C-alpha cells in the first residue's frame, strides 16, 4: 500500500469503532443503561406500551428520498436510487422516547411491502410482529453523533440533546425483500420501567 492510499484510508475511516453498525454483544456493555433497550428481541412498540399508560406514534415524514450512505447497500440500492422513507417519534405518556426511521425500495413497496401503504399513525411494529411471512434479521448497534444525519433528526425531538444517541437497526424481509428499520433511543426512554 502506498502512502497516498494509506492516507486516504485513514482519513475516511471512522475514528471511533462504536460509530459503525455492528452486531457484537460486547458493544452493549458500552451502552450502559441503554443496553436492555438495544437488545430487546421482541417488539419495541409492545415494550414501550407495557411501560406507559398512553402510547402514540407521531409521523414526522413519509416521502421518497435517497437512502442514507449506510443504508443503500442493505437495501440493494445504488447511490442514485431513491427509497420510501418513513420517520416517526414514539411517545410514551406524552414524551418522545424513540425516533424511528425506516426505508424500503419503492419497487418492493408495491410488491412484498404493500402492507406499508396506509399505515398512517399506526406503529410499524404492529405490522412487523403480526405477519408470519416477515422474518427479522440480526440487530446491529452503534452510537450516533452529530456527523450522522439521523442524529440531527433525533436531536430535534430533545430539548437538550445529548452528544450522542444509541441506535439499533435490523432488516425485516418479506418475500426476500428488505425493509430497514432504525430506532434511535432518546434519553426519556430510560425513565420507562419496562
pLDDT at 4: 41
**DSSP percent split of the chain into helix, strand, coil, nearest 5:** 30, 30, 40
Report whether pLDDT(14) > 70: no
More confident position, 146 or 72? 146
Highest mean pLDDT out of 20-34, 60-74, 152-166: 152-166
Average pLDDT of the segment spanning 109-138: 88
Q: In 3D, which of 178, 187, 37, 189 has the Cα closest to residue 102?
A: 178
Half-sphere exposure of 143 (CA within 13 A, CB side): 18
pLDDT, tens only, 71-114: 887 776 655 688 899 999 999 999 999 999 999 988 887 788 88
DSSP reduced 3-state for 183: strand
pLDDT at 96: 97
Q: Which are the contacts of 162, defined by CB distance < 8 A and separation ≥ 6?
A: 187
> Model's pTM, two decimal places?
0.88
DSSP string, 10-47: HHHS-S-GGGS-B--HHHHHHTGGGHHHHT--S-HHHH
Average pLDDT of the segment spanning 110-137: 88
164 secondary structure, DSSP code: -
**Average pLDDT taken over every residue of the chain:** 86
Report whether pLDDT(60) > 90: yes
Q: In 3D, which of 58, 83, 74, 80 has the Cα closest to residue 172?
A: 74
Distance CA 93, CA 52 (A): 6
> What CATH class does 16-191 carry?
alpha beta
Amino acid at each position: 500500500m502506498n502512502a497516498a492510499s494509506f492516507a486516504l484510508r485513514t482519513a475516511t475511516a471512522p475514528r471511533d469503532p462504536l460509530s459503525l453498525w455492528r452486531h457484537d454483544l460486547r458493544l452493549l456493555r458500552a451502552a450502559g443503561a441503554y443496553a436492555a433497550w438495544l437488545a430487546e428481541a421482541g417488539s419495541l412498540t409492545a415494550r414501550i406500551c407495557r411501560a406507559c399508560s398512553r402510547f402514540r406514534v407521531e409521523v414526522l415524514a413519509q416521502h421518497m428520498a435517497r437512502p442514507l450512505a449506510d443504508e443503500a447497500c442493505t437495501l440493494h440500492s445504488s447511490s442514485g436510487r431513491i427509497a420510501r422513507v418513513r420517520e416517526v417519534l414514539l411517545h410514551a405518556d406524552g414524551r418522545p422516547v424513540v425516533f424511528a426511521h425506516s426505508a424500503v425500495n419503492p419497487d418492493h413497496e408495491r410488491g412484498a411491502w404493500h402492507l406499508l401503504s396506509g399505515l398512517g399513525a399506526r406503529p410499524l411494529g404492529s405490522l412487523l410482529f403480526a405477519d408470519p411471512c416477515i422474518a427479522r434479521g440480526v440487530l446491529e448497534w452503534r452510537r450516533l453523533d452529530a456527523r450522522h444525519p439521523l442524529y440531527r433528526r433525533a436531536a430535534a425531538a430533545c430539548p437538550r440533546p445529548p452528544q450522542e444517541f444509541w441506535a439499533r437497526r435490523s432488516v425485516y424481509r418479506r418475500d426476500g425483500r428488505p425493509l430497514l428499520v432504525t430506532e434511535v433511543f432518546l434519553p426519556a426512554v430510560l425513565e420507562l420501567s419496562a
